[in-house]
């Protein structure tokens, strides 16, 4: 990769690390307010106006990451690659900073509230960590394609597989309604649905990667 890509990736890492620290600090403050004895399930569901503030903060988080992705890229899919990398790094570093700040989570299998939109996402910490690693890998691959001048244009079949895989993953996060809304302990996490989603996502990416390289070979032989 050229110097510009390395420079961009350095900015991406610095942004993700700093932003993850800010997000971790916010979580520490919220837990101090609502869980002074330490965060635990069942979760409290009466956050009043603070819930609205938290929902807007989560949306603002996505806006900030998308904004940096746009600034670093010239084309949509290149920006999408940067977004995947930023999100993946941010999420992993978020848990790393929480471990540094308050020695949490106890293990990779500790349950957490991942997101609140449109309903609470609940899963062991290991699950979002795996998703983040996949996002970083795919994002780096996309950046490498653009750096080599390859065209990245996912087709309908690719998108169908990606969306199906994403649906499996999201359902595994959002399906525990009792733990999310009725102040109950989480049910055993559905790792099978999650792994199906991850495998579909990776299959779609490798299939697209194979198609791009095949096009490059065909063009070079003409």
172-191: per-residue pLDDT in tens?
999 998 887 777 889 999 99
pLDDT at residue 93, as a whole number: 98
With beta carbons less than 8 A apart as the criterion, state whether 75 and 153 touch. no
Q: How many folded domains does the chain comprise?
A: 1
State the pLDDT at residue 173: 97
> pLDDT (tens digit, 9 = 90+) per residue, 6-25?
899 999 999 999 999 999 99
CB neighbourhood size of 117 (10 A): 11
Average pLDDT over the chain reads: 90
Mean pLDDT across 82-110? 97
How far apart CA 135 and CA 142 sit, in angstroms, is: 11
Q: What percent of the chain has pLDDT over 70?
A: 94
The confidence score (pLDDT) of residue 161 equals 95
Q: What would the mean pLDDT of 68-89 be, rounded to a whole number?
A: 94
Alpha helices (H) in 107-190, listed in sequence order: 126-147, 156-174, 177-181
Find residue 123's DSSP bridge partners: 112
Closest CA to 149 of 69, 67, 221, 75: 75
Does this model's pTM top 0.75?
Answer: yes
- Whether 8 contacts 89, CB under 8 Å: no
CB atoms inside a 10 Å sphere around CB 106 = 9
Domain interval for residue 49: 3-221
- Using one digit for the tens of pLDDT, what is the confidence trace for 159-173? 999 999 999 999 999
With 60 as the cut, is the pLDDT of residue 79 above it?
yes
What pLDDT does 213 receive? 76
* Residue-level pLDDT at 129: 98
CB atoms within 10 A of CB 132: 21
String of DSSP letters for 29-41: HHHHHH-TT---S
Range ranked top by mean pLDDT from 45-49, 75-79, 209-213: 75-79
CA distances from 171 to 7, 122, 214 (A): 37, 10, 34
pLDDT at 46 over 90: no
Strand partners, 112: 123
pLDDT above 60 for 222: no
| Residue 50 preceded by cis peptide, ω within 30 | no
155 against 63, higher pLDDT? 63
In which band, very low, low, confident or very high, does the pLDDT at 126 lie, cut at 50, 70 and 90?
very high
Dihedral angle over CA of 146, 151, 153, 157, nearest 10:
-110
């Amino acid at each position: 990769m050229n110097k510009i890509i390395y420079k961009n990736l350095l900015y991406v890492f610095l942004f993700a690390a700093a932003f993850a620290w800010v997000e971790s600090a916010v979580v520490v403050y919220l837990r101090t307010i609502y869980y002074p004895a330490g965060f635990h399930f069942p979760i409290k569901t009466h956050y009043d106006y603070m819930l609205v503030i938290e929902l807007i903060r989560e949306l603002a988080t996505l806006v900030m990451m998308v904004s940096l992705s746009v600034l670093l890229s010239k084309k949509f899919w290149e920006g999408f690659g940067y977004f995947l990398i930023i999100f993946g790094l941010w999420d992993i570093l978020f848990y790393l900073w929480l471990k540094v700040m308050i020695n949490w989570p106890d293990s990779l299998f500790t349950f957490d509230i991942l997101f609140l939109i449109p309903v609470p996402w609940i899963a062991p910490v290991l699950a979002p960590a795996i998703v983040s690693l996949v996002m970083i890998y795919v994002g780096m691959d996309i950046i490498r394609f653009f750096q080599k001048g390859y065209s990245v244009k996912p087709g309908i079949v690719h998108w169908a597989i990606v969306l199906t895989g994403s649906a499996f993953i999201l359902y595994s996060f959002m399906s525990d309604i009792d733990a999310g809304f009725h102040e109950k302990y989480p049910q055993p996490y559905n790792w099978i649905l999650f792994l199906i989603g991850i495998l579909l996502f990776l299959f779609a990416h490798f299939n697209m990667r194979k198609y791009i390289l095949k096009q490059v070979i065909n063009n070079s032989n003409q």
